[in-house]
Amino acid sequence: MAGKAGKKVASLTEKEAAAELERLAQEIAAHDARYYREDAPSISDAEYDALRLRNDEIEKRFPDLVREDSPSKKVGAAPSEKFDKVTHRVPMLSLSNAFDDEDVTEFLARIRRFLNLKEEEELAVTAEPKIDGLSASLRYEKGKFVLGATRGDGREGENVTANLRTITDIPARIKAKDIPDVFEVRGEVYMSHADFAALNERQAKDGKPVFANPRNAAAGSLRQLDSGITKSRPLRFFAYAWGEVSGLPAETQMGVIEALERWGFAVNPLMRRCLTAEEMIGFYREVEGQRAELGYDIDGVVYKVDRLDLQNRLGFVSRSPRWAIAHKFPAEQATTVLEAIDIQVGRTGALTPVARLKPVTVGGVVVSNATLHNEDEVERKDVRVGDTVVVQRAGDVIPQIVRVIEDNRPKGAKPYKFPETCPECGSHAVREINPKTGKPDAVRRCTGGLICPAQAVERLKHFVSRNAFDIEGLGSKQVEQFYKDGLIKSPADIFTLEERDSGKESLTRLKNRDGWGETSVKNLFEAINERRRVDLDRFLFGLGIRHVGETTARLLARSYGSIEALMGAMEKATGPETEAYQDLLSIDGIGDVVAEAIVDFFQEEHNREAVRALLEAGVTPQPLEAQDTGSPVAGKTVVFTGSLELFTRSEAKAKAESLGAKVSGSVSAKTDILVAGPGAGSKLKKAQELDIQVLDEQGWLDFIGEG
């Protein structure tokens, strides 16, 4: 692709330059459309960047030739017309994965442990194919289809009702008598192999871009702004789950799916009920054998606990249900040549080796980069530049190098020497000794900290990322550019950008910069301003504290309620002996390593300063709404003690948290309820001294309405 560019910019005649600018404008616009509208990029990011760069270089040499429709006048951002956002009242979750038979056995064992099921007690599980499409939620009120949305980030998706209405598998109205007033049907939008092939043939004939695979074709078709186009695309839908419902037609997963079928939905015909791990694995092998003949893409099978009361008891971990798992098919592989090994520096300074590959198609997608994880991995696999390597790609994970084909190794290929200095800032890169194992960490880290530009940029990218501040129009590329130009050096700079921009002379204003215009700048400032009120958990996640992922960020947000309270407490947590430190440790789900990382972060003056600067720039983190306000335990701090007999400790904790309570491991003045099983000792005594409400197990169940 880049090869087509040909002649050096310096030797282009004016006529050639004009022709080339025209070609580039068309080509880049077509790639933008593929990327943003069709979800189906046909070239790598690097190739795309090369096209834009060439365009910029030619324009620089021939400023008079800059076209009205020049790519440099548009930002590489999503189209300005957009879908409305829809908040999912019941989040759309993902599934955790099983990769082999053992993971499946362990899944069942874990559930049995969690529920304390006896060996002879039955545990039925449904098994069904995992469809490789994109999930959608369809809301029915009094049997009428009223709202349809994409998954989005799981909490918020896009309103694509008009497009979903064009899919014949989705009934506009359900006539059945037993349909509850509110029922959200969830399932997968997909395209069959035959329809996909025919669509691509049509696209090619009309001179339009073809799709890389059925999944991309389905995604691109569903996200059309003109539902007339969606209607012309052969989309299908399998129903396999539900969201908010005012009632359920059955007490088992299988029962509800049968009801969905009665109500007129397409459900997967292969779905089956299994009673043992052997049956589940048998189903998996059978489906794997039929995979090629199914006529649509699947990437594994999904197991779900059949009884809904058990599903309810099992609840969720982070973003996945404990009662379901995806058993993935092995990743697809291909062979290609490794052209270079580059080192990327992450936001925590980790040096990650990345293999640059001769582009190769793996499972319908062109792969030109793969991760090599870390130094030991490069050594273990003895990967050398010039080697022929086997790459694999599993679902949406980053492609990996499986092994080297040593017979094809070019003469003179040298073992790769991992750098001992940071390629971005020149600081020493070291492997810290893990205090627990006494062995060096697998990861080599740049010691440059604040002076390392790569770490700074990665921290900013993390800050604006989807699950953190999620600022539309401010993606990785823009962050890199703004950082390079000195416009944004720290998170707070994002929120002072508009003010600084308005004080400038018109020549240097953002809207007059390459790639920007009046509208895109206005949109960017709007998106930034919208995020001044950000949920506290997103705010904390965005800070990029080591070991603090979304789940821990949520725990902190729930426990401390505000950034001021958290910072105040962390300043007091000068050592493990302090009360503030112990309070942090008493939060269930926060252990030694995580606690230390959080305390360390807030003990650093420059981190506190970064937070203060954000608050001063007008960012106001919003406390999380107490979950499930209907529950009497929402917002309360609960401690479980003694040997529990009516439920397991993990079950009790998960249930309490799902009702919006905080679960703590120790009794203090902040405790609201102590649930004491038989044999409770010192905690019970302390609770009585502090006059805290004490419940026995049955009392607790009655209290939360599950008695």
Residue numbers annotated as active site: 130
Taking CB under 6 A as the criterion, the residue among 5, 93, 239, 280 binding ligand IVH is: 93
Long-range contact pairs involving 400-403 (C-beta distance under 8 Å, separation at least 24): 400/331, 400/370, 400/371, 400/373, 401/338, 401/355, 401/370, 401/371, 401/372, 402/333
Give CA–CA dist 398/670, Å, rounded. Answer: 44
467 or 578: CB nearest ligand IVH:
467
Rounded least distance, CB 675 to ligand IVH, Å = 28
Q: Could you say whether residue 17 binds ligand IVH (CB under 6 A)?
A: no
Taking CB under 6 A as the criterion, the residue among 21, 43, 115, 131 binding ligand IVH is: 131
Rounded least distance, CB 223 to ligand IVH, Å = 15
Piece of 55-63, 91-99, 109-117, 215-223 that binds ligand IVH (CB under 6 A): 91-99
**Distances 643 to 118, 314, 492, 677, 701 between C-alpha atoms, Å:** 18, 19, 49, 5, 16
Q: Using only C-alpha atoms, what is the Rg of the chain?
A: 28
Rounded least distance, CB 130 to ligand IVH, Å = 4
131 or 563: CB nearest ligand IVH:
131
Say which amino acid occupies 220: G
How do beta strands 662-664 and 637-641 pair? parallel
Provide the β-strand partners of residue 118.
none
Piece of 28-36, 99-107, 128-136, 474-482 that binds ligand IVH (CB under 6 A): 128-136
Tell me the per-residue interface mask from 190 to 229 with ligand IVH, x by CB under 6 A, - otherwise: ----------------------------------------
130 or 531: CB nearest ligand IVH:
130
Tell me the per-residue interface mask from 139 to 178 with ligand IVH, x by CB under 6 A, - otherwise: ------------x---------------------------
Taking CB under 6 A as the criterion, the residue among 188, 306, 535, 588 binding ligand IVH is: 188
86 or 389: CB nearest ligand IVH:
86
Q: Which two tokens stand for residue 632?
A: 């009497």
Phi, psi of 596 (to 5 degrees): -60, -40
**137 with 184: CB under 8 angstroms?**
yes
Give residues with Cβ within 8 angstroms of 600, minimum separation 6.
Answer: none
Provide the β-strand partners of residue 236.
190
Q: Work out the number of other CB atoms within 10 angstroms of the CB of residue 172.
A: 11
* H-assigned helices in 423-489: 453-464, 476-484
With contacts defined by CB under 6 A, how many residues of the chain interact with ligand IVH? Answer: 15
Q: For the chain, how far is it from start to end, CA to CA, in angstroms?
A: 66
**641 with 675: CB under 8 angstroms?**
yes
Rounded least distance, CB 234 to ligand IVH, Å = 19
Give CA–CA dist 407/386, Å, rounded. Answer: 12
347 or 655: CB nearest ligand IVH:
655
Phi, psi of 253 (to 5 degrees): -55, -50
Piece of 125-133, 275-283, 491-499, 582-590 that binds ligand IVH (CB under 6 A): 125-133
Provide the β-strand partners of residue 338.
357
How do beta strands 298-305 and 351-362 pair? unpaired
Q: Could you say whether residue 128 binds ligand IVH (CB under 6 A)?
A: yes
Rounded least distance, CB 94 to ligand IVH, Å = 4
Give residues with Cβ within 8 angstroms of 692, minimum separation 6.
Answer: 667, 671, 672, 673, 674
Piece of 23-31, 87-95, 546-554, 582-590 that binds ligand IVH (CB under 6 A): 87-95
Query: Where in 491-550 is the site for ligand IVH (CB under 6 A)?
Result: none
Give CA–CA dist 436/526, Å, rounded. Answer: 48
Rounded least distance, CB 394 to ligand IVH, Å = 12
135 or 224: CB nearest ligand IVH:
135
Tell me the per-residue interface mask from 317 to 336 with ligand IVH, x by CB under 6 A, - otherwise: ----x--x-x----------
| Nearest residue to 49 via CA among 308, 278, 368, 283 | 368
Taking CB under 6 A as the criterion, the residue among 149, 179, 191, 241 binding ligand IVH is: 241
Give residues with Cβ within 8 angstroms of 544, minimum separation 6.
Answer: 347, 348, 459, 462, 463
- What's the DSSP call for residue 580? H
270 or 430: CB nearest ligand IVH:
270
**Distances 191 to 113, 168, 170, 324 between C-alpha atoms, Å:** 40, 12, 14, 25
212 or 305: CB nearest ligand IVH:
305
397 or 565: CB nearest ligand IVH:
397
Q: Which two tokens stand for residue 112?
A: 């049995």
SS3 67: coil
Q: Work out the number of other CB atoms within 10 angstroms of the CB of residue 521.
A: 20
**628 with 659: CB under 8 angstroms?**
yes
* Closest residue to ligand IVH: CB criterion: 135
Q: Could you say whether residue 404 binds ligand IVH (CB under 6 A)?
A: no
Say which amino acid occupies 385: V
130 or 662: CB nearest ligand IVH:
130
Piece of 89-97, 175-183, 404-412, 544-552 that binds ligand IVH (CB under 6 A): 89-97
Rounded least distance, CB 154 to ligand IVH, Å = 8
Q: Which two tokens stand for residue 44?
A: 């790598």
Tell me the per-residue interface mask from 271 to 310 with ligand IVH, x by CB under 6 A, - otherwise: -------------------------------x--------
Rounded least distance, CB 11 to ligand IVH, Å = 51
Rounded least distance, CB 313 to ligand IVH, Å = 15
Q: Could you say whether residue 135 binds ligand IVH (CB under 6 A)?
A: yes
The three-state (H, E, C) secondary structure of 157-182, written as one string: EEECHHHHCCCCCCCCECCCCCCCCE
Piece of 88-96, 208-216, 348-356, 684-692 that binds ligand IVH (CB under 6 A): 88-96
44 or 221: CB nearest ligand IVH:
221
DSSP H or E stretch at residue 255: helix 253-262
Q: Could you say whether residue 95 binds ligand IVH (CB under 6 A)?
A: yes
| Cα atoms in the 13 Å half-sphere on the side-chain side of 377 | 19
Piece of 50-58, 124-132, 248-256, 307-315 that binds ligand IVH (CB under 6 A): 124-132
Taking CB under 6 A as the criterion, the residue among 48, 114, 183, 240 binding ligand IVH is: 240
User: Strands, DSSP E only, in 97-143?
Assistant: 97-98, 125-131, 134-141
140 or 539: CB nearest ligand IVH:
140
Rounded least distance, CB 128 to ligand IVH, Å = 5
Q: Could you say whether residue 651 binds ligand IVH (CB under 6 A)?
A: no
Q: Which two tokens stand for residue 179?
A: 């349909």
Give CA–CA dist 367/360, Å, rounded. Answer: 5
| Cα atoms in the 13 Å half-sphere on the side-chain side of 565 | 13
20 or 128: CB nearest ligand IVH:
128
Rounded least distance, CB 95 to ligand IVH, Å = 4
- Residues near ligand IVH (CB under 6 A) are 93-95, 128, 130-131, 135, 151, 188, 240-241, 302, 321, 324, 326
